[in-house]
Structures are given as C-alpha cells and as structure tokens.
Amino acid sequence: MEQTLQKYLPERAVQPCFSLIKEHAVHLKIVGQRVTRHGDYRRLPDGLHQITVNASLNKYRFLITLVHEVAHLVAFEKYGRGIKPHGLEWKKTFQLLMLPFIRPEIFPSKVLPVIANHFKNPKASSDTDAKLSLALKQFDAGTNKSYVFELPLGSIFRIYNGKLFKKGNRRVKRYECIELSTGKIYIFQPNAEVELISD
C-alpha cells in the first residue's frame, strides 16, 4: 500500500497517510475518474471502512480528498451516524486531520496560504472554493478544460455529459447559462470546468 501511495501523494505525505489508513482500518480503492466526485467513504455491511479516491487527481488534490474521506469515517465513529455529513463535527475532524499536512514540506509555498485559508472553514468539496480550486488546478496534467468565469460572455461550452450551454450574466457569485437544446437557464459555479466550443 505504501508503494502505491507514493504514486499519488506528495512524498512527505505518504507515511502519515499510510498511518491514517492503518489506524482506521481503511480499505482504500483508487478508481478511474468520476465526474461528480473526487472520492467517497462507505461503511460496508461487514463493518469495514471503504474509501475510494479518483486516480486522475493531482497529488495535492488526492491528499486533500483522502483526508476529507477519512474525516467522514472518524467523525461518524466519534459522534455517531446521526451527524450531518459535512456538518460542524466533520469540519472540526477534517481540520484536525489536515493540520499536520499544511506544511511547506508537503504543499508548495505559493499554495499554502490558500490551503490554510480554506481550512479555517472547510467546504463540502474543495471545488466549491474557487481560490483553492484554481490554486490546485495548476498541478493538473494538461487539459483542454476552462473555468466558466474565464470564458467571455456569450461563449458556447460543453459540460461533461455533452450538453451545450451559452454563458450568460453573473448573478452574485454564479453564472446564468442557457442550455442550447432546451432554452432552460442553469446556474453554474464560476469554477465549473467546461470545454470551450466557441467564443
């Protein structure tokens, strides 16, 4: 397991992550890319804990996702199954588990302030924090994806399921976009990753 983790994590994070996995008896599965999530945690019927993390994530996002999912396990074990999945108990647990990793030996110095700020009040997904998402994107393998906020007004773009949209005006934090085939208006996060078709 330790050798496998070396392929997916920053070097100095491998040993502490391996210890977390052993301590909490986690069955870790590294899976192909899923569009809707970076990872998930499940307690299996036999009582074992399974965590899946996407193999396609860069090493920093992989680390954050792995600790995010371990935090679910630890919070449920400590506070009971009745807690909200991303409620206060999970946030506190995630902060505590992540603290030893927020160091210059693990994260690049230019990303550290963004990470530290995010963990003052962690979100249910690192993708909903636009600053963190942008900071982590620079470490992704080459991609033809853009963020919605980067596109000019009126651009046509495609999302993961093939549907085409036209970018509209900003509404407070998000963007109104029209689905071309139906004319329906959808609201997009500014850092939603899309494929630009024409601008």
Residue pLDDT, tens place only, 132-177: 988 888 888 766 778 898 899 999 999 988 999 999 999 988 999 9
Among 38, 21, 52, CA closest to 132: 38
How far is 8 from 38, CA to CA, in rounded Å? 13
Q: Does the pLDDT value for residue 127 go beyond 80? A: no
CATH of the domain at 194: 2.30.30.30
The Cβ-side half-sphere exposure at 62, using a 13 Å CA radius, reads 27
Residues 115 and 156 in one domain: no
Query: 35, exposed or middle or buried, with CB in 10 Å at 0-12, 13-18, 19+?
Result: exposed
Range of the domain at 123: 2-137
Q: What's the CA gap between 68 and 189, in Å, rounded? A: 21
Same domain, 122 and 175: no
Same domain flag for 169 and 100: no
Same domain, 184 and 90: no
The answer for residues whose C-beta is within 8 angstroms of residue 48's C-beta and 6 or more apart is 25, 27
Residue 88 shares a structural domain with residue 161: no
CATH number at residue 29: 3.30.2010
| pLDDT for 36 | 75
pLDDT tens track for 11-58: 999 999 999 999 999 999 999 877 778 999 999 888 889 999 999 999
Tally helices (H) and strands (E) across the chain: 6, 9
Domain count, the chain: 2
How far is Cα 43 from Cα 151, in angstroms, rounded to an integer? 41
CA 10 to chain CA mean position, Å: 16
CA dihedral 77, 80, 86, 91 (to 10 degrees): -60
Distance between CA 43 and CA 186 in Å, rounded? 34
